Structure 1
Amino acid sequence: MSGDLAARQEALVAALTGGAPIPDGFDARLVGVARQALLRKRAGVAARHWPMLAAGYGTGWTGAFAAWAARRPTAGGLRDGWDFARACGTRGPAAEEELARREAAWVYDGGSEPRPRRFPAVRRTAEVLIVQVAGRTFTRRR
C-alpha cells in the first residue's frame, strides 16, 4: 500500500512541478490551479535571485517565466533564472550586465550547482566589460 501511495504522490508532484500528465483520480481543474500558483511562486523566487532580469520583462515576467518553466522541474531560483536567461535572453542592459557578472564570477554548466570560478574570466555586454580575477570582479563601462 505504501508503495502505491508513494507512486501516486510522485506522479502528482511531477504533474504539479514538471508538466507531467495529471494522474487518475485527481481533479484536473484543481491540479491546474495549483500548478499555476506554483509557477507564479517559482517566478517570484527566480525574480528575487535575478531582479534585473525580471525587471527587463516588466509586467510580462511572470507569464514569460511560467510559460518557460511549465515543462521543466525546478532547480531552485538561482538556477531557474540562469537557465531562463540563457534560453530566452535578457531584456535591457541591466539584465545583460547581471547575467555577465554571474557568468564571470561563477561556473555553471546548466546541470550541476554553480560554483565559484577559479580562473580569470572576461564577459562583455554592449555597455560593460567585466573581468574576474582571484575572486574579485572589476567592471569597466564603455
Structure 2
Amino acid sequence: MSGDLAARQAELVAALVAGGPLPPGFAPAPVEAARRALLRKRSGDVARHWPLLAAGLGADWPATFTAWADGRPTNGSLRDGWDLARKLSDQGTLPPLGAEELAAREAASHYDGHRPPRPRRMPAVARAGGAVAAQFAGRVRLLRPAPR
C-alpha cells in the first residue's frame, strides 16, 4: 500500500514540476493551477538569486522564465538562473544587466551545467553578451559592461 502511495505521489510531483502526465484520479484544473503557482514561486526564487537578469528582462521576466522552466525539473534557483542566462546568451537575447551578472558568475565559479557550481581557485576571465568580468584572488571585477 505504501509503495502505491509513493508511486502516486511521484507521478503527481512529476506532473506538477517536470511536465509529466496527469495521474489518474486527479482533476486537471486544480493540478494545472498548482503547477502554475509553483512556476511563479520558482520564478521568484530564481529572481532572488539572479536579480540583474530578472531586472534586465523587466516585465518579460515571468513569461520568459516560465516558458523556459515549464516541463523542466528544478536544479535549484542558482543553477536554474544560470542555465536560463546561458540559454538566452546563446540565443542572443540576454539583456545587458543579465550579461554582466552572467559574466561575473562565470568568472567567479565553474559550472558545467550538471554539477553544482564550484568557486574558481585560479584567476579567470569570462565573457557574456559583450560583458567581460575577471576574477583574481577571489574578487570579481567587471572589466567591460555589456553594450546597451
How has the CA–CA distance of structure 1 residues 138 and 59 changed in structure 2, closer, same or farther, with 3 Å as cutoff?
A: closer
Structure 1 gaps of 5+ residues are none
Structure 2 gaps of 5+ residues are none
Q: How does 1:96-115 map to 2 (within 5 A)?
A: 96-115=99-118
Q: 1:22 corresponds to which residue? A: 22
Q: CA deviation at 1:92?
A: 2.8
How has the CA–CA distance of structure 1 residues 2 and 130 changed in structure 2, closer, same or farther, with 3 Å as cutoff?
A: same
CA deviations over 1:103-137 (Å, ceiling 9, x no partner): 00001011111110122211235665321123222
How has the CA–CA distance of structure 1 residues 126 and 47 changed in structure 2, closer, same or farther, with 3 Å as cutoff?
A: closer
Q: Percent identity?
A: 58
Q: How does 1:58-69 map to 2 (within 5 A)?
A: 58-69=58-69
Q: 1:80 corresponds to which residue? A: 80
Q: CA deviation at 1:40?
A: 0.5
Q: CA deviation at 1:43?
A: 0.5
Which TM-score applies when normalising by structure 2? Answer: 0.89
Q: 1:140 corresponds to which residue? A: 143
Number of equivalences: 142
Which TM-score applies when normalising by structure 1? Answer: 0.92
- Residues of 1 paired with 2:79 and 2:129: CA distance? 24
